[in-house]
Structure 1
Amino acid sequence: MDALALLQWPAMVVTLAAAWLVASQSKARRNWGFWTFIVSNVLWIVWGWHEDALALIVLQVGLFVLNLRGAKKNDPART
């Protein structure tokens, strides 16, 4: 198994960490959660590309856009 095939495991861990952060009551942690989700989206896109999983890639692009929106709306610098 090559390294890209193993990418699904760190992608899964990063996704779970992001979900944990987004569920926080702290606005700063939620913001970090959205950015962590963005990292996971990129990891899943790379893995999906390697595995020819087009539906997963399309899903992750959509979630990437939604996570950018969430990060913008939850930016702790915005009041």
Structure 2
Amino acid sequence: MRPDAGALRYPPRPMLAAFGPHQADTQPGEAMDWIDMLQWPAMAITVAATWLIGSRIATRRKVGFWVFLLSNLLWVVWGLHTSAYALVVLQFALAALNLRGMRKAKQVEENGATQAGPAGSAEAQ
């Protein structure tokens, strides 16, 4: 019998198994799959993209749109690997909204306007 056979694990393995492979499933001495680590750069890139999108400088905002798309891609890869299908669907929805924002920003730029109309106006929607 293993020395830790009677020890309780939190959360129990059956609960973890219901949600796909997790870092907690890695036994001591086992190498963790590199895709499991992808969540950390995805998170950092998402934070960087959010910062860029919030900039007053148009070039930074444009870069932020592309950085957001990269973060969406990384989250999709990680989500598929861990069977986090709701996260994958969310990333596709966020990417679509991001592309919509890029299109609207380009329209504003082409019209020579410096900013969209007030919130709730036809221009802002």
Question: Would the TM-score normalized by the shorter structure come out above 0.5?
Answer: yes
CA deviations on 1:8-61 (whole Å, 9 max, x unpaired) are 000001000000000000112111111100000000000000000010000000
Q: Distance in 1 between matches of 2:55 and 2:104?
A: 15
Instruction: Give the share of equivalent positions with the same residue, in percent.
Output: 52
**Number of residues of Structure 1 aligned to a counterpart in Structure 2:** 79
| Cα distance in 2, alignment partners of residues 50 and 66 from structure 1 | 24
- Cα distance in 2 between the residues matched to 1:32 and 1:77: 15
Aligned-pair RMSD on alpha carbons?
1.5
Unaligned runs of 5+ in 1: none
Counterpart pick for 1:21 among 52, 59, 66: 52
Tell me which of 54, 61, 66 is aligned to 2:97.
66
TM-score by length of 1: 0.91
Return structure 1 stretches of 4+ with deviation > 6 angstroms.
Answer: none
Relative to the length of structure 2, the TM-score reads 0.59
Bigger helix share: 1
- The one-letter code matched in structure 2 to 1:45 is V
What stretches of structure 2 of length at least 5 have no aligned partner? Answer: 1-31, 113-125
Partner amino acid, structure 1, of 2:101: G
Larger RCO of the pair (alpha carbons < 8 Å, separation 6+): 1
Instruction: Show the counterpart of 1:50.
Output: 81
